[in-house]
Structure 1
Amino acid sequence: MTLALDPTAQDLLFREAHTAHTFTDEPVSEEQMRAVYDLIKLAPTAFNQSPLRITLLRSRAARERLLPLMSQGNRDKTGSAPLTALLSADVDFHEKLPKLLPALPGLKDGMYAEESVRERSGSFNATLQAGYFLLGVRAAGLAAGPMSGFDAEGVNKEFFGDGRQKVLLVVNIGRPGPDAFRPRNPRLDYAEAVTVL
């Protein structure tokens, strides 16, 4: 066997997983999301900075605040999904570094003292964590509908008014509904994407 992960798990996380466009009305529980977070918090980040912040929009009122900021093609599915997550990068992730990396106490005030450095590093590392988040949702047996079609500046202002978080991705979460999945588009072959030197 080439891969350590059994074929059923490979199918769940990769081969059979698709971006969902419709969802049932079955709720996504707090326990499910805690279980997802307990997996994805282990994603690798530079110096364990862990800059990803997840804002779960459960209430109708919170969803109504988001809908006008979504692109037209993403509004209906966001309005009908049982749960929507805003994945953002915390510009001030360095404040938690003494807890996350106690062996290197000077990191907080050293290389991450400059905000532009934190923004670049935080955005990159939170994006790594976002990929793990999608896999965590799949591991819970749920479908994810990640979207980049939204007004990022508007979302930041509406949900993170202090400017300390920067939205990266909006993800609808739930059980797939009727016609949830579109046919899978082709992917690049190994030889097209991989260079061996």
Structure 2
Amino acid sequence: MSDQPPSTPLALDPGAQELLFRSAHTANTFTGEPVTDEQIRAVYDLVKYAPTAFNQSPLRVVLVRSAEARQRLLTHLSEGNRAKTAGAPLTALLVADHDFHHELPRLFPKMPQAKDVFFSERADRERSAAFNGALQIGYFIVGIRAAGLAAGPMSGFDAEGLNKEFFPEGDRRVLAVVNIGKPGPDAYRPRAPRLEYDEVVSSV
């Protein structure tokens, strides 16, 4: 386990801290053990409660399961990401839905007019979907770890190519591609440094 103080103000027990953060790494290889729909449903049913503005929840998760879809995906990845994606038991496209505002009257009922007051302009929806979708990606990765799985998030892809390939209608935009599974041999690179508290946190 990682070094940590003997006492901590965190409510999360040390084992959960290790699983979710201290010992968790981005995985680059995976075993062949399948990732089931039940596991992904359990992940989503946990992380759906994490906050977004107006509870707008713009993230959409597209599971790339078929061989045909996997091949279509690989052609739009950077060369360094293709082999590990081809070998992952599951890859997910994490996507911002620019039409999220249609669900707001149901998701944010105390202000049913929010979709018209704040999101009548497409540019506003796109900015909000990108920001809140990125928040949800972070929650989703932590949820994957909570399921005892490893995540391999990637930004090395041709975004325009993927959008045209999978979402030609133009209403969705890929934010990240994540490989998911049990870590395989030599899955993790050595832990890279992180900025320390005093380098990040200040008071005003």
Smaller-chain TM-score range? over 0.9
Query: Which residue pairs with 2:178 in the alignment?
Result: 171
Retained in 1: the 8 A contact 2:61–2:93?
A: yes
> What is the deviation of 1:140?
0.2
> What is the deviation of 1:43?
1.6
CA deviation profile, 1:27-82 (whole Å, cap 9, x unmatched) = 00010000000011112110000000100001111110100100000000011100
- Determine whether 1:101 maps to 2:136: no
Stretches (4+) displaced over 3 A: none
**What TM-score, normalized to structure 1?**
0.98
Query: Which residue pairs with 1:21 in the alignment?
Result: 28
> What is the deviation of 1:123?
0.5
Aligned-partner SS, 2:157: coil
Query: Which residue pairs with 1:144 in the alignment?
Result: 151
Aligned-partner SS, 2:72: helix
Query: Which residue pairs with 1:34 in the alignment?
Result: 41
Query: Which residue pairs with 1:157 in the alignment?
Result: 164
In the TM superposition, what are the counterparts of 1:39-188 in structure 2 within 5 Å?
Answer: 39-188=46-195
> What is the deviation of 1:193?
1.1
Which amino acid is the alignment partner of residue 11 of structure 1? E
RMSD over equivalenced CA pairs, Å = 0.7
Query: Which residue pairs with 1:4 in the alignment?
Result: 11
Cα distance in 2 between the residues matched to 1:106 and 1:37: 27
Q: What residue ranges of structure 2 are gaps of 5+ in the alignment? A: 1-7
Retained in 1: the 8 A contact 2:106–2:112?
A: no
Cα distance in 1 between the residues matched to 2:20 and 2:111: 35
How much identity, in percent, do the aligned residues show? Answer: 66
> What is the deviation of 1:159?
0.7
Aligned-partner SS, 1:38: helix
Which amino acid is the alignment partner of residue 152 of structure 2? G
Q: What residue ranges of structure 1 are gaps of 5+ in the alignment? A: none
CA deviation profile, 1:114-155 (whole Å, cap 9, x unmatched) = 000000011100000000000000000000000000000011
**What TM-score, normalized to structure 2?**
0.95
